[in-house]
Structure 1
Amino acid sequence: MSPLDPYFDRFATSRAHQARAHRLIPGGAHTYAKGDDQMPEWMPVVVDRGEGAHVWDLDGNRFIEYGQGLRAVTLGHAEPRVVAAAVRQMERGTNFSRPARVELEAAEAFLDLVGAECVKFCKDGSSATTAAVKVARAATGRDTVAMCGDHPFLSQDDWFIGTTPMDAGIPQAVKDLTVAFPYGDLGALVDVLDAHRPACVIMEAVRDESDPTDYLRACIAACRERGVVFVLDEMITGFRWSARGAQGLFGLDPDLSTFGKALANGHSVSALAGRRDLMAAGGLDTDADRVFLLSSTHGAETHGLAAAVETMRIARAEDVEGQLMRQGARLREGVAEVVRQSGAEGFVGTAGRDCNLVFYTRDPDGAASQPYRTLFLQELTRRGVLAPSFVITTAHTDPVIDETVEAVAGALAVYVRALDAGTTDGFLLGRPVQPVFRKKAGTVWTSVSRSGGDGAVSAHPRIRATPQDS
């Protein structure tokens, strides 16, 4: 009997679904980070529904899910109060030919919480960061963008994607307008500022769990001395690290900042916020040349903004950031203990702030390894844990975390055997997962079918898988 046999039945409906999806949707998903090349090959896991910390796939398998919605969910899936707020607003209408009442309500709630002067809402983080770049260019009369090259994703738009291996279709002239600097090296940033005179610097607040306060304040000061707009990307830190984002946590005053992901607990709402004198370029009370700032048919859908208002209310009232830190710490400590017991110290572990944990996987030589990452994902999925990261929500209660740690312990038993063998061969079913950005697809998506009476399997090439993106 083939070792793959259990997966024919357990994931059969998801596999059939993805075979159809790849014929109609490039990459089989509308978000690269959710592509099949990011999961073990025989475990595609197409989600049917979610509740709290759990999701159920098309085959009825239940999983504890981490990284919910690429960090967009902090309160758990289908949080009843957020759902009720969205439904109440949907019953009143979702889109009109004039501004809706909830637009001002959401703006007042957001600005009161974050502390900025003006805000424009939109549907995705890329639109917000690209609008920030446009505002900075208009304000300074300069074209170049300076971005932190150590942060993995800032936008799907050309000014950023042109800096990645997935730069096909982007003119060289556009690529030349973006320069990078390393995180944590103030001197390197100053060199970039003086050599390129950029319109703006855009970066996330943090790279690891260390305190970045002094460094970030020095970055802001260096920008202000040179008339450069400082843009803080709060897509991850906002409403996860703190209800006020990193700027509130570390006492920062960026010129512009961008929020999204957890702002509406998974509903599609993002924001560009900042100084009134900069944001006014997109308004009606300015003598300057007008900036087409943010404007889309669905940019202020009422139910999304209503969900954001309720999510912000909960964040303010219930110490969401504290819950995320406490539960994340419980998970981190539990994982560390079973790693120690298994003898896998130095090969598997967690990194990052407790509210935003990721894990690392290393091969017998101690090098970061995609095959060993895939093996770890495979064994967690086998045990009912879907964990591209260990990013937590308030719905991850003590029993959920304890169940997760038990699954990690089981996965580690297999992982250690593969370390002892010096290879994942014989342990990993199928090809490894792929990195976020790569020049070529490089893998073949396969459809698996039984062949003959002995349980053998055959893999049939269908479509080249697409690379991952955040």
Structure 2
Amino acid sequence: MDEQHPHGRTGATRLRHLVPTGAHAYSKAADQWPPTAPPLLTRGQGAFVWDADGHRYTDWFTGLTCCPLGHAHPAVTAAVTRALQHGTAFQLPTTMELEAAETFLGLVATGDDMVKFAKNGSDTVDGSLKLARYATGRTMIAKCTDHPFFSTGDWFIGTTAACGGTHPEPSARTLNFPYNDTAAVEHLFTTRGEDLAAIILEPVRFTPPDPAFFARLRQLCTQHGTVLIFDETVTGLKYHLGGARALTGVHPDLTCWGKGIGGGLPLSALTGRRDLMELGDHTRPIPGRPPLFLLSTTHGSDAAALAAMIALVNEIAATDALARAHTTGAELRHTVDAQLTEAGLAGHVRLTGYDCFLGIDTTGNAQVSGPQLKTLFLAETIRAGALVRGIFYPTAVHTDEHLALTAQAARHAADVCARALDGDPAAVCLPAATRRPL
């Protein structure tokens, strides 16, 4: 029995008997976390979460980044409560949908003309590719190989190690290119430009976007009539209110949004140019062509999620919450770097990326591999009360208290990692490196 999590471990075992992998997202499954992670959480408030055994953690990934204002934010909670009191599902469009569309296009997806709401990022990504194929009459898609996840669709999953059960045809029409590699995309268009319906990539992750790469990519897509799609499912509402696409210097034809835009409730969106988006209006088919059935989600118009988005976006805009999150991230980077340096670990564990979304890179030695070292660092950080999953996602609700608690956890983890690198097997039990299937 897990001595630290007896109730959580028992509950997680029961859950896995009822739910494949014991989780509804692959990134929440037990094999994606170090063994010290709490098996089940029970509640969250701000930047704290509690597990089934009553332990409190500083949460640095707030609902897989779905909560840009932390858990149970008062403005979001109040908006959802009001929506629930007026009903959430209707058989005709509602005024809430109008307000949501105007708010999202006015404050977030600025420069885009139309929006279609759905419930998860895979739906909007797959819809964007269907729209690109319809608009161009082509079938090939090119995705960035440096970005880890786009969709549960066969076109993407069929290209991964977890390809069981997928149809081979969609993945055979999926091409690859590396991020920021201008020569590679030029070669892609030289050899397959006339076949390419769409290029899809995240605008940024941890490596800054190269303006020259994005300028050339935009030029090539326009020249060849290829639809340029940015996947901001992860990056939206982190780098800027208007998304990370602002960092690239170019504007895509279509953008997919998800995770954080619902403030913790399920919501995604597809936005883009009017001439493309209107192709998805099946009530106005193009003469001589079958209509395009773009996206149809019974719950895409769910009033509670739309109300949460409206409240979230307005709160972020009114309080400059993203700027405060960046400031917190800079303080976190300084704090953790100091603990790593004092422990002699600066050359082995590093924080990368932007202050709003910090990755953790590791380099091992003869005693400990890089992946083992990363798993050990995360395991010990979690053991000491900071819930980290390879990424620090600072928000406006992380306070000096959270930073202080995390500094203590990082120092504990750094000391353990330093002993492991020095080859002290008696003091350190190395965990198996966390395996990611995608």
Could you tell me how far 1:213 is from its partner in structure 2? 2.7
2:175 is the alignment partner of 1:179: yes
Tell whether the 8 Å contact from 2:205 to 2:235 is kept in structure 1 after alignment.
no
* 1:176-325 aligned within 5 A: 176-196=172-192, 197-283=195-281, 284-287=283-286, 289-325=290-326
TM-score by length of 1: 0.88
Measured at CA, do residues 52 and 433 of structure 1 come closer, stay the same or move farther in structure 2, by a change above 3 Å? farther
Distance 1:90 1:265 in 2: 16
Higher mean C-alpha displacement, 184-193 vs 126-135: 184-193
Could you tell me how far 1:24 is from its partner in structure 2? 1.3
Give the residue type in structure 2 aligned to 1:307. A
Which residue, 51, 55, 67 being the options, matches 2:45?
A: 51
Tell whether the 8 Å contact from 2:180 to 2:209 is kept in structure 1 after alignment.
no
Measured at CA, do residues 331 and 26 of structure 1 come closer, stay the same or move farther in structure 2, by a change above 3 Å? same
Aligned partner of residue 374 in structure 1, secondary structure? helix
Which residue, 418, 421, 428 being the options, matches 2:420?
A: 418
Aligned partner of residue 179 in structure 1, secondary structure? strand
Higher mean C-alpha displacement, 344-353 vs 355-364: 355-364
- Counting aligned pairs with the same residue, the percent is 37
2:147 is the alignment partner of 1:148: no
Aligned partner of residue 421 in structure 1, secondary structure? coil
Tell whether the 8 Å contact from 1:140 to 1:227 is kept in structure 2 after alignment.
yes
Tell whether the 8 Å contact from 1:217 to 1:252 is kept in structure 2 after alignment.
yes
Q: Aligned residue pairs: how many?
A: 430
2:432 is the alignment partner of 1:432: yes
**Structure 1 spans left out of the alignment, 5+ residues:** 438-468
Aligned partner of residue 71 in structure 2, secondary structure? coil
Distance 1:285 1:292 in 2: 11
Deviations 1:393-442 (A, max 9, x none): 1111122112101210111111111110166x75237x5243322xxxxx
Could you tell me how far 1:211 is from its partner in structure 2? 4.4
Could you tell me how far 1:194 is from its partner in structure 2? 2.8
**Structure 2 spans left out of the alignment, 5+ residues:** none
Aligned equivalent of 1:403: 405
Tell whether the 8 Å contact from 1:36 to 1:44 is kept in structure 2 after alignment.
no
Aligned equivalent of 1:118: 114
Tell whether the 8 Å contact from 1:38 to 1:433 is kept in structure 2 after alignment.
no
Aligned partner of residue 357 in structure 1, secondary structure? strand
Could you tell me how far 1:367 is from its partner in structure 2? 8.0
Give the residue type in structure 2 aligned to 1:306. A
Give the residue type in structure 2 aligned to 1:379. E
Distance 1:381 1:84 in 2: 32
Aligned partner of residue 340 in structure 2, secondary structure? helix
* 1:43-122 aligned within 5 A: 43-113=37-107, 114-115=109-110, 116-122=112-118
Aligned partner of residue 428 in structure 2, secondary structure? coil
Distance 1:62 1:408 in 2: 16
Tell whether the 8 Å contact from 1:235 to 1:261 is kept in structure 2 after alignment.
yes
Distance 1:367 1:410 in 2: 18
2:349 is the alignment partner of 1:355: no
Deviations 1:77-103 (A, max 9, x none): 110110110110011011011112111
Aligned equivalent of 1:460: none
Distance 2:220 2:310 in 1: 35
2:128 is the alignment partner of 1:132: yes
RMSD of aligned alpha carbons? 1.8
Could you tell me how far 1:331 is from its partner in structure 2? 0.4
Deviations 1:297-340 (A, max 9, x none): 11111100000001110121121221111000000011111111
Tell whether the 8 Å contact from 1:18 to 1:44 is kept in structure 2 after alignment.
no
Distance 1:368 1:416 in 2: 13
Could you tell me how far 1:14 is from its partner in structure 2? 0.6
Distance 2:369 2:183 in 1: 29
Give the residue type in structure 2 aligned to 1:130. D
Distance 1:375 1:412 in 2: 9
Measured at CA, do residues 134 and 422 of structure 1 come closer, stay the same or move farther in structure 2, by a change above 3 Å? farther
Tell whether the 8 Å contact from 1:335 to 1:349 is kept in structure 2 after alignment.
no
Aligned partner of residue 176 in structure 2, secondary structure? strand
2:401 is the alignment partner of 1:369: no
Give the residue type in structure 2 aligned to 1:143. T
Measured at CA, do residues 39 and 428 of structure 1 come closer, stay the same or move farther in structure 2, by a change above 3 Å? farther
Aligned partner of residue 358 in structure 1, secondary structure? strand
Tell whether the 8 Å contact from 1:206 to 1:212 is kept in structure 2 after alignment.
no
Deviations 1:334-387 (A, max 9, x none): 111111111011111211110001212332249863322222122112211111
Measured at CA, do residues 24 and 228 of structure 1 come closer, stay the same or move farther in structure 2, by a change above 3 Å? same
Measured at CA, do residues 61 and 367 of structure 1 come closer, stay the same or move farther in structure 2, by a change above 3 Å? closer
Give the residue type in structure 1 aligned to 2:63. G
Give the residue type in structure 1 aligned to 2:149. F
